[in-house]
């Protein structure tokens, strides 16, 4: 067992009941304390721990890291570049420092005052500089629902779907951190009954409930990352709201796929939960039938049991939970996605991000987009204030939450929050 995952570990930091961040999590993020530069941090309960000051006080000295500057950087890319053994060593060292029996830090008042502060005293920043962003389409329920709505209910999945983890190259410049407000996009749309397209604010803004993984290791152009090697490349995961303008998408996507309908803002949760922390929650995925080609064959459990939830709140209104899904439903796993991504020799870089695709489950309350929940606008969703939604309205806030839970503890992601503002 990974030392930091020991369910018996207790911490001297207060952890509220059902916190996403027990001592067994130790995620990585970038905080900006008031009046200071952004720097790497972790979180236990509602306390954030500044890794740059822990370094200053010498708490990482024994780790023998080549470049301690990584703990002063405004993004985690250089830290990830140190490699998987160092990610693991730092997480284990943090687990040790905050163990209830360890007095190294808790008895050092000067260090305590500098290294720890409340989550509400910092601003959360984008944790990595995202180089390239790829979005997959790996939920069989989502792909089937979209196929039924837009094509042919008898042949909802296209012939390639069960053979290829379908994906497209997205836009990284508009990936932003939770809490960033996004304006409704302007664009071209054309209704079926219209002769020519018109221009104006999108009327069908939607969320897509996704997770994303981030690579912490690069590969060379021309190389493949074999499926056995993929675990070494994946640093961790975040929640991901891949905002979509369905009316713009419908008009523009032929024949090359989505373009401006997906690039007006894509929002991630601020804490990267490591693959090590998620390791106790690995489960079998759905049976893949027909058998996949050999380069996509994998061994072991590669899906993860992560409960996912989406809520919507109107301006000054209460939250209504509109979707409960789970990452374990994904047909294609992250290892297959990465092996497929590099099979043509495409190189990947540290900080690249890969969206899972909308994560829909088998039941109508588990669909991961408004498009599916309201079935193309034919079944409006009731909110707790009595109002109805087919798609997202101006000043609505979408909140995604996710956590894995066993009888010992919960490993969570916190929140991914997005407010949609009127078009500019
Ligand atoms: Ca997507």
Q: Residue 331's pLDDT is what?
A: 98
Q: Residue 66's pLDDT is what?
A: 86
Beta-carbon neighbours within 5 Å of ion ligand 1: 135, 208, 242
Q: Left, alpha or beta for 216 (phi > 0: left; psi -120 to 50: alpha)?
A: alpha
Cα–ligand 1 centroid distance for 249 (angstroms): 12
Q: Specify whether 104 is located in the same domain as 173.
A: no
Among 125, 142, 161, the domain boundary falls at: 125
Q: Specify whether 197 is located in the same domain as 66.
A: no
Residue 104: DSSP 8-state: T
Among 92, 125, 158, the domain boundary falls at: 125
CA–CA distance, 366 with 358 (Å, rounded to integer): 11
Q: Specify whether 387 is located in the same domain as 328.
A: yes
Q: CA dist 229 to 58, 226, 291, Å? A: 34, 5, 21
Cα–ligand 1 centroid distance for 216 (angstroms): 22
pLDDT in 10s for each residue of the chain, 424 residues: 899 999 999 999 999 999 999 999 999 999 999 999 999 999 999 999 999 999 999 999 999 898 999 999 999 999 999 999 999 999 999 999 999 999 999 999 999 999 999 999 999 999 999 999 999 999 999 999 999 998 889 999 999 999 999 999 999 999 999 999 999 999 999 999 999 999 999 999 999 999 999 999 999 999 999 999 999 999 999 999 999 999 999 999 999 999 999 999 999 999 999 999 999 999 999 999 999 999 999 999 999 999 999 999 999 899 999 999 999 999 999 999 999 999 999 999 999 999 999 999 999 999 999 999 999 999 999 999 999 999 999 999 999 999 999 999 999 999 999 999 999 9
Cα–ligand 1 centroid distance for 2 (angstroms): 33
How many domains is the chain partitioned into structurally?
Answer: 2
Q: Specify whether 48 is located in the same domain as 188.
A: no
Global pTM value: 0.98
Q: Specify whether 154 is located in the same domain as 120.
A: no
Among 66, 95, 125, the domain boundary falls at: 125
Cα–ligand 1 centroid distance for 153 (angstroms): 21
Query: Is the peptide bond preceding residue 200 cis, with omega within 30 degrees of 0?
Result: no
Q: Specify whether 201 is located in the same domain as 246.
A: yes
Cα–ligand 1 centroid distance for 268 (angstroms): 13
Q: Specify whether 51 is located in the same domain as 84.
A: yes
- CATH number of the structural domain spanning residue 53: 2.30.30.230
CA–CA distance, 214 with 203 (Å, rounded to integer): 32
Q: Specify whether 53 is located in the same domain as 175.
A: no
Residue 130 φ then ψ, to 5°: -80, 120
Cα–ligand 1 centroid distance for 358 (angstroms): 5
Taking a C-beta distance cutoff of 8 angstroms, is the pair 78, 51 a contact? no
Q: Specify whether 61 is located in the same domain as 165.
A: no
Q: Which residues are catalytic?
A: 142
**254 burial level (CB within 10 Å; 0-12, 13-18, 19+):** exposed
- CATH number of the structural domain spanning residue 401: 3.90.850.10
Q: Residue 64's pLDDT is what?
A: 84
Range of the domain at 62: 3-125
Q: Specify whether 331 is located in the same domain as 207.
A: yes
Q: Specify whether 71 is located in the same domain as 143.
A: no
Q: Specify whether 80 is located in the same domain as 164.
A: no
């Amino acid at each position: 067992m990974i030392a930091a995952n020991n369910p018996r570990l207790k911490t001297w930091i207060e952890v509220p009941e059902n916190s996403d961040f027990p001592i067994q999590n130790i995620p990585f993020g970038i905080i900006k304390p008031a009046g200071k530069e952004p720097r790497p941090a972790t979180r236990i309960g509602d306390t954030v721990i500044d890794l740059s000051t822990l370094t200053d006080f010498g708490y990482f000295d024994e780790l023998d890291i080549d470049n301690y500057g990584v703990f002063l950087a405004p993004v985690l890319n250089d830290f990830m570049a140190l490699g998987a053994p160092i990610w693991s060593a730092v997480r284990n060292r943090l687990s040790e420092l905050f163990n209830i029996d360890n007095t190294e830090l808790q008895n050092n008042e000067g260090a305590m005052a500098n290294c720890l502060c409340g989550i509400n005293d910092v601003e959360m920043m984008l944790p990595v500089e995202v180089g390239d962003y790829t979005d997959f389409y790996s939920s069989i329920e989502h792909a089937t629902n979209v196929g039924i709505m837009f094509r042919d209910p008898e042949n909802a999945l296209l012939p390639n779907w069960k053979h290829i983890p379908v994906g497209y190259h997205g836009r990284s410049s508009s990936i932003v951190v939770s809490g960033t407000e996004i304006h409704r996009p302007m664009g071209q749309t054309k209704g079926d009954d219209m002769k020519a397209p018109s221009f104006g604010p999108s009327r069908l803004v939607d969320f897509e409930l996704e997770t994303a993984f981030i690579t912490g290791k690069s590969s060379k152009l021309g190389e493949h990352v074999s499926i056995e090697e993929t675990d070494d490349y994946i640093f961790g995961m975040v929640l991901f709201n891949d905002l979509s303008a369905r009316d713009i998408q419908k008009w523009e996507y032929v024949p090359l796929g989505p373009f401006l309908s997906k690039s007006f803002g894509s929002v991630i949760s601020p804490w990267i939960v490591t693959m090590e922390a998620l390791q106790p929650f690995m489960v079998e995925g759905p049976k893949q039938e027909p058998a996949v080609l050999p380069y996509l064959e994998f061994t072991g459990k590669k899906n993860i049991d992560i409960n996912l939830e989406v809520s919507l709140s109107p301006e000054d209104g209460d939250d209504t939970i509109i979707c409960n899904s789970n990452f374990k439903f994904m047909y294609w796993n992250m290892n297959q996605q990465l092996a497929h991504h590099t099979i043509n020799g495409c190189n990947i870089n540290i900080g690249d991000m890969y969206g899972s695709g909308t994560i829909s489950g088998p039941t109508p309350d588990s669909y991961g987009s408004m498009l599916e929940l309201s079935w193309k606008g034919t079944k409006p969703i009731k909110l707790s204030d009595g109002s109805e939604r087919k798609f997202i309205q101006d000043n609505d806030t979408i909140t995604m939450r996710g956590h894995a839970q066993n009888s010992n503890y919960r490993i969570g992601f916190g929140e991914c929050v997005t407010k949609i503002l009127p078009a500019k």
